[in-house]
Structures are given as C-alpha cells and as structure tokens.
Chains A and B, each alone.
Chain A
C-alpha cells in the first residue's frame, strides 16, 4: 500500500479540517454557556443559522429574484469576509441578548424548551420568508474566500481550512485568557451556587448574560465560516434540531467545562461522521474502495489521532515516560489503520449501507445516554483551575 498524498486528498483533508473547526467553535460557544455557566442552550442551530445568513447577506453580490425560479434574498453588499465575520458575531450576539433577558432567569430545562422553540421558529421564518431569505432554496453563489486574488478551487479549500483553524485558535486563546480570569471565577461561583454568589455581592445576571452572549457570538462566527465553506446556505438540513443535538453530543463526549474537551469532542465526533460517510460510499456494493481512498482515510485518521492523543494525554504524560506515550499512540494508530484496510476486503450488505447514516445517529444517541449515565464529566474532565496565580496548585 503506497502512501501517497494526491492533490485531491489535500482538498479532502482541508474540508475535514474546516468542518471540524466549525463544529469546534460551536462546541466552544456551548461550553461557555453550559460548561462554565450552567445555561442550557437548546437553540444552538438558531445562532449558527443567524451567523450563516448574516454572512451570506453581507457577502453576496446583488442577485435579483427570478420569478418562478428563485425568490431572491436580502443582500448584495459584497462585503469581504472579515466584515462578514463581524456581522455574524454581532447578529448572533444581539439575538442572544434579546432571548436571554427574559429567559435567563428560568430553570435549566425551561430554558432548554424556550431556546428549542426559538430555533424552530427561526427555522420556520428562514424557510418561509422567501423574498428575504431565499426560502427553502436558501442563498446561493456566495463568493468563497478572497476572490480578488484568483485562487484555484483547490487552493481556496486549503485557504478556508487555514482560516478556520486560525479562527479556532484565536477564539481558543481568547477563551483561555478570559477563562482563567477573575471574571471566570465569578462565573464558576454562579454555576455552583447562584444565590450564594449573589449574597456575596456578585451581579449574577450580568455575568450570566455576558457568558451567554459571548457564546452566541462565537456560534455566529462558526456560522460565517460555514457559509464561506459551503458557498451557500439553506435552512432545511443545516440548521435542524439535529445540529443542536450534535453539538451537545460533542460537548458531552469531550467533557464540558473544559475548552480542550470541547474541541476534542468536536474533532472526534466529526471524524466519526466523516469516516462513516466514506465507509458508506466505499465499502461493499459495486464500488470497491481503491488504495488511494483508503490511503486518504488512513492519512486523516493518523493525523487526527496524533492530534487528539496529544490533546488528551500530553498533560498527564508529559512528566512520565515519552516511550509509553509513543507506544500507546503507535498501538492505537495501528489498530485504526488495520480496521480501515480491512474495508478493502469486507463487504457490507446493502441494507446496512443504506442505513449507515441512521445507524450512526442511533449510536450517537446511545453514546449520549451512556455518557450521561456512566461518565457525565466526559472524556476530559474539568480540572481545578488556577486564577492567575503564581503559586502552584
């Protein structure tokens, strides 16, 4: 099996990184709201959608409606991407503010129901207000990144991935900075015991509101990336409650309360999805996977495993033996690659293949249930965090 990386592979890897980063951003936003503050946002899809549509409206060139074909949409401002990011964050933040003011006082499950309702109402609107949102058609022909430089489609994909990862790193850095600050300490106190924090002099509502709105803004940024990645937005499949539940699954899996856990969960989850999509494309039936395709999957899986293991194990193993770290990593990588290689020879029955996506979702559901029951802290549990202190913990 020759390990060669074709240009097409790079595009695939770039696409993988882009989507994983988008989901990581969503999960980070949710982590701020839930893991750090205890606010149950079941309307993630709404803020994601608002960010995506805001970016779409800001970035598209004017496209008048075609009667009988396309209903048209708001927009035509042809703004550059950075402006769109700002606009998305702003719109999502404002929406978050408006929703939060009446509902933040509610108990967690009431807030869940209210935010779920919000995301459904928004989806209803996006589907129906055709002259402004494009209705079920959505908004098309959104320019990709930096069209003025004339990149090839391959280059644009890679560029998008790079930008996505950079945004993720920036947000992560900001969250780390803010997350170890006295402000974050107040947030933790509020999550633990809101009445006690209030009686101790903390304006708990303001702090919760800030966390919620910032979380929504981050989700809006994820939306703008999504728009630029796909080059179109539509309300029917991208912003369903399933999207919200997927992000929740990512956070629960990775470990809530922990930024690294959030990113870890998102990447792990997304690779699970990515692999099963490819398996359903290749395994069994008449289309046998070629060496190249298996290579690609192995390449992605290898890179990813290394990154994830680094994320997960490095803090704990840094002081211990590097040898053991490498040994375990090698073992995991070998197992994964063997599994993928076996796809060359295995044939999945057609009824299984057709339903692979559904089965994957059932597995996700099962995972959620199992984690809630047996390991609610997720894979990467939260640590006792220091606030700006020099003294060791």
Chain B
C-alpha cells in the first residue's frame, strides 16, 4: 500500500525497452516527426532506383529499360503478397511463414478451376480468394487465436508447422510436376523502344497489381473497416477502448491477407511454373518487401514491393555482365540476393523500415550500436544520439 504522494500525474512515456517480459512501449509521439524527413525517406529508394534506371539505360541501352519493365511486372506479383503479409504481421504481431503456402494454395485452386474444371481464369480469380479467405479464418480460429499473447516466436513456429501441412497437402492433392494455366502466356507484344512485354504475364499482371493496390488503398482510407484495421495495427488496446471490435478486425485481416495471397499466387503462376514450392520460393522477396516498407503498413508493403521488384529485375543485366566478364557463373540466378542484401541493410540501419513507426523492441540499428561499442573509455565526449543497450 503506497503512501499518497504529492504529485500531479502527468503522463510521460519514456523510451523503456522491456525485453523478455515482452512489453513494447511506444516512445516518441508521432506528430513530432518532421514531415520533410518522412517524405524524403519515402522517395529515397525510388529516386535511387530511377537513378539506377538512368545508368542502366546509358550503359546497356534497351536491355536496361527492359529490365525496368520486367521489374514492374515482378513488383506487381510481390505487392499483393507483401500487403497481405504486412497487414497480418501488424495486427497479429507475428511473421507468417505459411504465407508462401497461402499463395501456393491460391494458385492451385485457380488451377483447379481453370484447367481441371475447364473454366475461365477469371472464375479462378474469383474462387481462389474466396477459398483462401475461409482457410485464413480457419487458421485464425483454430490456431492463432489461441496463441495470442504468447509472443511472436510461438506463432512463428506454429506457422512453420502450418506451412509444412499446406505445402505437402498441395503436393499430395495435385502432385509435384510443373503445371501451367490454360491462358495464352508465351507470345510477347512489341513496345516502343525495342522493348517487349507479354500480354498476360506482363500487362495483365501489371494491371491487376495496380488495381489491387488501388482497391486496398480505397479499403484502408474510405471504409470503416479499413480505418479500424489501421487503428488496431497501431495500438490494439487503444483501438479496443474506442469501441473497435478487435476480434472482427483480426478476422477480416486474415480474410484480406489470405485473399491477397491467393491473387499473388495466381500472378506467380502466370510468370513461373505452378508447383508446390512456388509460394515459398518467393517468400524471401516478399519478406524483404515487408521489412523494407515497414511491418504493419500496407503502403510500406506497396513501396517495398515496388523497390524489391524493380531492384531484383534491374540487377539482372549487371549480373549478366558479371557472368560474362567476372566469372560469376550463372549470374542471373543471383537476382534474389539483391533483395536479401536490401533486407539485411534495412535490418542493420533502420529495422522498422521506411514507414514503420517505432523502433521495434530488441532491434536497434546495428551500425549505430557497433559504433557505440567501439568508443573508448574516458576523456571523450558522448556521441550524439547513440542508443545503447538492448
């Protein structure tokens, strides 16, 4: 029983990092972040890419700009997957390693409708998200709701289990040989400047990607549900107090995440073979996009997906050059490495990503931290703004 103290209660949120006990206290008030810095942060990667594009065109001509087009297509494949993963990560607070399998399942459902039932692929586009939505709800209801509050690792490991179940279920039901959709995929259409683009693989994918980006934007900004999702992702406790039914929001997030995964899966199926590992193979790129953009932010996922897609494809001609000139055997196979390097860079320098809010508990820029470890004792002034500990 405390004695009464003579003080007025003025809330002040110190930046306390409580690890092990699992508490993440939000530190800085967001309104204080200068907008200019944010906008610059947003634009910086795009400007870098445009710079790389310019250099590529100068050095490699049409090959350089072709890789930009290819990159846009790849981005359209990554973005829906990244949005879904990021939203779920932000609300359920765990990395869903089964997200790749959700994409795979979506692709196979569409395959079932398109090839085995001999319907139009459009019906596939409608059925797959529906089926996946139910799968998502089932997963939440049976597994992940029960793991709430047990920390990010428990759910992550459970999602690994789910990934094993789903991937092998798909393989058991459909077999492991490579499949394709029943759509015209191969021929490419010429574009001005000596470029080429495939109608389905390229144009349709781009169009669908853009459509979904706009739809998600509309959902998040104009609908009540969307606003509720953003609020819950930011701060679930606070959102609850304003009357938002977290249960509902969580379920709808699963629906959205799984449905977007389904779409992403079908788009993958357009540009690559349909097989049980197709989703997992892209998971690294999707994770890179989510981390780059900031966990929990749909717009971050869009930006991250764009950057990762473009960067991965635009590195192609350079890797090719390294192949012929520097002995990097099978150079273009290393395209995913670019995404990995970007991801590691983000984790080192700014783990919360471009649009992520607070510095995550237990994550501090390793570069700054390393610098702080290297300073010697005594007789020097403290470096400004270096964060310690953790």
Binding site for B on A (CB under 8 A): 40, 101-103, 105-110, 112-114, 116-118, 120-121, 124-125, 127-131, 135, 191-196, 198, 205, 241-242, 245, 248-249, 252, 355, 358-359, 361-362, 364-369, 372-373, 376
Contact = CB atoms under 8 A, between A and B. Distances in A.
Contact of B363 (A106, A129, A194): A106
Nearest to B154: A372
A103 B347 CA distance: 8
A121 B312 CA distance: 14
Given A105-B366, A368-B164, A110 B19 contact: no
Given A114-B347, A120-B336, A362-B169, A368 B20 contact: no
A121 B169 contact: no
B147 A192 contact: no
Most buried by A among B150, B160, B165, B364: B160
A116 B347 CA distance: 14
A102 B160 contact: no
A128 B333 contact: yes
Contact of A368 (B161, B172, B370): B161
A105 B172 CA distance: 40
A373 B143 contact: yes
A254 B363 CA distance: 30
Most buried by A among B19, B147, B361, B363: B19
Contact of A358 (B152, B172, B329, B344): B172
Contacts of A248: 157, 160
Nearest to A133: B329
B390 A105 contact: yes
B389 A362 contact: no
11 contacts: A103-B344, A107-B361, A117-B340, A129-B330, A194-B19, A195-B389, A205-B373, A245-B163, A359-B168, A365-B160, A365-B165
B146 A252 contact: no
Nearest 9 interchain pairs by C-beta: A365-B164, A368-B161, A365-B165, A369-B161, A107-B362, A193-B20, A128-B330, A358-B168, A365-B161
Interface in B280-334: 280, 284, 287-288, 291, 329-330, 333-334
Given A107-B351, A194-B19, A372-B158, 12 more contacts: A103-B347, A105-B369, A117-B287, A120-B336, A124-B334, A124-B336, A135-B329, A249-B161, A355-B171, A362-B164, A362-B168, A368-B160
Nearest to B328: A129
A116 B330 CA distance: 22
B153 interface: yes
Contacts of A109: 94-95, 152-153, 156
Interface residues on B, range: 35 or more
B91 to A, nearest CB: 15
B340 A121 contact: yes
Contacts of B291: 110, 113
Nearest to B152: A109
Contacts, number: 157
Nearest to B288: A117
Nearest to B156: A109
A191 B365 CA distance: 21
Nearest to B276: A358
Contacts of B82: none
A120 B163 contact: no
Contacts of B20: 191-196
A127 to B, nearest CB: 7
A192 B161 CA distance: 25
Interface in B13-32: 17-21
Interface string B359-388: 011111010011001000000000000000
A28 B160 CA distance: 20
Contacts of A195: 17-20, 389-390
Contacts of B21: 193
B49 interface: no
Contacts of B337: 121, 124
B348 interface: yes
A185 to B, nearest CB: 16
A139 B326 CA distance: 24
